[in-house]
Amino acid sequence: MEVISLTKENFQAQIDQGITLVDFFGLECESCQKQLPVDEELAEEIRHQATVVKVDIEQEIELAAEYGVMSTPTLMLFKDGYQVETMIGLQSKEKLRQTILRYAAMGETC
């Protein structure tokens, strides 16, 4: 499943509802290029529990700065508008899935 690209204009609307995994990435980043296929596989597998999106930090400099992204890939998990997890560096699909499912199991509250 293709991972949706977000911009500053649509970022807040996306993270405000449900669970969203955001991959802040750079096009020139080798680890980021390895992470994106993992994100795509995960997006398909957890599509009923969460949404997986990406933000190109070179195009969305202000957004990356607002969230304190200092290195890539940086993955942030949001639940109902609240940032609940931050993971820096290449992450396995299994670790991401377990993290997402843990928050999905919590129901409506963080």
Model pLDDT for residues 17-31, shown as the tens digit of each residue = 999 999 999 999 999
Q: In order of start, what are the domains of the chain with their CATH numbers?
A: 4-100 (3.40.30.10)
CA distance 46 to 31: 22
Catalytic residues: 29, 32
The CA angle 89-79-106, to the nearest 5 degrees, is 105
Model pLDDT for residues 44-95, shown as the tens digit of each residue = 999 999 999 999 999 999 999 999 999 999 999 999 999 999 999 999 999 9
- Write down the pTM of the prediction: 0.94
Q: Which of 16, 25, 21, 11 is nearest to 69 (CA)?
A: 25
Q: What is the mean pLDDT of the chain?
A: 95
